[in-house]
Amino acid sequence: MDTPPVRLTSLAHGGGCGCKLDPAILRTLLADQPVAGPFERLLVGNETADDAAVWALDDGTCLIATTDFFTPMVDDPHDFGRIAATNAISDVYAMGGRPMLALAILGMPVGKIAPAIVAEILKGGAATCAEAGIPVAGGHSIDTPEPIYGLAVIGSCDRAHVRRNADARAGDVAILTKPLGVGIYSAAIKREALDSAGYADFIATTTRLNRVGADLARDPEVHAITDTTGFGLLGHGLELARGAGLTFVVAGDAVPLLPRAAALAQEGFVTGASHRNWASFGSQVTLPAGLPDWRRHILTDPQTSGGLLVTCTPGRAEAILAQCHAAGFAQAAVVGRFEAGPAAIRVEA
pLDDT digits (tens, 9 = 90+) for 107-129: 999 999 999 999 999 999 999 99
The CATH number that domain 172-347 falls under is 3.90.650.10
Q: Is the pLDDT of residue 166 over 70?
A: yes
Residues of the chain with CATH 3.30.1330.10: 8-29+36-161
- The CA distance from 266 to 185, in Å, is 12
Question: Is pLDDT at 18 greater than 70 in this prediction?
Answer: no
Higher pLDDT, 215 or 38: 215
> In this predicted structure, what is the pLDDT of residue 4?
47
Decide if 312 is catalytic: no
What CATH number labels 8-29+36-161?
A: 3.30.1330.10
**Alpha helices, H only, 98-195:** 115-132, 182-190
- Of residues 17, 19, 129, 312, which has the active-site annotation? 17
Condensed to tens digits (0 to 9), the pLDDT of residues 193-217 reads 999 999 999 999 999 999 999 999 9
CA distances from 202 to 7, 108, 258, 303, 318 (A): 18, 24, 8, 11, 27
The residue among 272 and 130 whose pLDDT is bigger is 130
What global pTM score does this model have?
Answer: 0.92
Domain with CATH 3.90.650.10 in the chain: 172-347
Q: What CA–CA distances, in Å, run from 157 to 49, 59, 96? A: 19, 11, 7
Query: Would you state the pLDDT for residue 20?
Result: 64
How many helices and strands in the chain, by DSSP H and E? 11, 13
Q: Indicate if the pLDDT at residue 23 is higher than 70.
A: no
Q: In whole angstroms, what is the distance from residue 62 CA to residue 42 CA?
A: 9
pLDDT digits (tens, 9 = 90+) for 87-101: 999 999 999 999 999
Confidence bin at 49 (pLDDT 50/70/90): confident
- Annotated binding site for ATP: which residue ranges? 20, 48-50, 68, 91, 139-141
Binding-site members are: 20, 48-51, 68, 91, 139-141, 227
Q: What three-state secondary structure class fits 171?
A: coil
> Tell me: the pLDDT tens digits for 276-325?
999 999 999 999 999 999 999 999 999 999 999 999 999 999 999 999 99
Beta bridge partners of 337: 173, 249
CA 156 to chain centre: 19
